[in-house]
A and B are shown apart, each in its own frame.
Chain A
Amino acid sequence: MWGKAKKAQASCPVKIGNIHHIGQRESQQDSFSISELSNSELCSGKGVFAVVADGMGGMEGGGTISNIVTQTMLRHFNETPEGRPAEVELLDMLIAANDNVAHYLKDNENGGSTVVAVIIRDGSLFWVAVGDSRIYLLRQGAAIQINREHTYAVELDEKAAMGEISFEDARGDSQRSALTSYIGMKTLEKIDRNLRPVRLVDGDLVLLMSDGVFGALDDDEILEAMTDVPQKSAANLQKRVLEKQNPNQDNFTAVIFEYRGGQS
């Protein structure tokens, strides 16, 4: 059975790595999901899909909410017939996730979730993001963040740049890290996504992560950790985060895709 899976994975255009750790928190509020990579028909047709979500709320079941997000989106990916444009599919699944979370929240306490999700199809990367989780593209030893975060910090820095407030006020604002858009809002304030595909080249790495990773490691440390095959790179990331020994280390989750396409 393993032999069969191995053979099938060889035809898959990506290699995969993932980490998922509770950190020093009492509950795991992150969730993630990856489409079936051993299904070569799925891989060559609809491509591969991954999602990372970081739930919000102490008493409000942030873990349940992020799990609703990842499961809704994975199910949507699996059930959508082939032929729908990837960027539309991502938007559809995001709205489905938001609806399901809204449905859940209706009878429960408050809460929400961030989300970053990608589809790699025919050598192209499509992505969608809401909140402050990140997607990085690592190419030739450089890391580029490809999504824009929905935090109040972005608005503060823009205001400071426009001269409306001082840079000191912008930097010192206690709400900098608070989200301005997240899954679970009645109407999603902001959605970040690409309309034109990002062409991948052989060896490109796509990294999806919750703030527990990039809150602990800077870009250089992330790059240094990711020089091996994806699963080992993922293990390196985890090791480095834990080495920081932050007594308040947040939950941290990452998914790494290494693109093995051969063509650009």
Chain B
Amino acid sequence: MEMKQCAQGGHYYDASIHQQCPYCNSGNVGATMPLDIGRTAPLDNGISHTRAFSDERPGNDDGRTVARIKEELGIDPVVGWLVCIDGKEKGRDYRIHTDNNFIGRSEKMDICIRGDDTISRENHAVVSFDARDKIYYFSPGDGRSIVRLNDKAIFATAELHAYDVIEIGQTKLIFMPLCGEAFEWV
């Protein structure tokens, strides 16, 4: 064995087998990258990945619950957005996908609003898109504080329409649908 250390990543490899560091060339590893690279990674297959702590996400925790639309298109396309118009993350947008989108501070959430400590870690509220009937819904979750829709406290599921304003913790989000009469994913 002719062990050699690569300059880039500090990896050791057998130079009698590999001409270049096999670890640096195996994908993302080893190369020094600018911090702003957005990388497209494969879809999560849900099998015991290293993950952050959070409570169960109902109906979505085994990674096998694949939305119908995702199954047909092979992708899980965006169906709308929430845009933060007031709060710690003002100006930021969050993508909504088909079926239930759980909102919380945790990494595991579909919509993670990390900056607002008054939002529960998990399932503070849910935004859903029913692809069959093309209706968007907003529901309160397990969050301690009350959630509001257009300034009204919400205790049961309510329909969402364009430009509705959701209030969670100290964050206000405006809702923008993509799918409806004018457009749908086919």
Interface residues of B in 76-128 (CB under 8 A from A): 107, 109, 112, 114-115
Q: Which of B27-59 contact A (CB under 8 A)?
A: 27-33, 35-56
- Contact between A67 and B29, CB atoms less than 8 A apart: yes
**A100–B27 contact, CB under 8 A?**
no
Residues of chain B within 8 A of A108, CB atoms compared: 38
Least Cβ–Cβ distance between A182 and chain B, in angstroms: 6
A243: interface (CB < 8 Å)? no
Using known A-B contacts A33-B10, A179-B50, A180-B53, determine if residue A38 contacts B41 with beta carbons closer than 8 Å: no
Bound form: Cα–Cα A263–B35 in Å: 42
Quick one: which of B23, B35, B54 contacts A178, CB cutoff 8 A? B54
B11:A33 contact, CB within 8 angstroms: yes
Q: Is A231 an interface position by the 8 A CB rule? A: yes
Q: CA–CA, A61 to B36, complex, Å? A: 12
Residues of chain A within 8 A of B35, CB atoms compared: 68, 100, 103-104
Are B41 and A58 in contact (CB-based, < 8 A)?
Answer: yes
> Nearest-CB distance from B179 to chain A (Å)?
21
Q: A31 contacts B53, CB within 8 Å?
A: no
Asked if residues B12 and A18 are in contact (CB atoms below 8 Å), the reply is yes
B43 / chain A contacts, CB cutoff of 8 Å: 58-59
Q: Is residue A27 within 8 Å, beta carbon to beta carbon, of the partner chain?
A: yes
**Assembled-state Cα–Cα distance A59/B47 (Å):** 13
A61 to B5, CA, bound (A): 26
- What is the CB-to-nearest-CB distance from A53 to chain B, in angstroms, rounded to a whole number? 10
| B2 CB–A CB distance under 8 Å | yes
- Does any Cβ of B come within 8 Å of A140's Cβ? no
* A170-189 interface code vs B (CB 8 A; 1 in, 0 out): 00001101111010101000
B interface residues with partner A (beta carbon < 8 Å): 1-5, 7, 9-12, 14, 23, 26-33, 35-56, 61, 107, 109, 112, 114-115
Q: List 12 A-B contacts (CB under 8 A).
A: A5-B4, A16-B3, A31-B29, A33-B9, A37-B5, A56-B107, A62-B41, A66-B29, A67-B31, A67-B33, A131-B50, A178-B52
Interchain residue pairs A-B with the least CB separation, the first 3? A58-B44, A178-B53, A63-B28
Listed in ascending order, the chain A residues whose CB lies under 8 Å from chain B are 2, 5, 16-18, 20, 22, 26-38, 54-64, 66-68, 70-71, 74, 100, 103-104, 107-108, 110-112, 114, 131-132, 151-152, 174-175, 177-180, 182, 184, 186, 211, 231, 248, 250
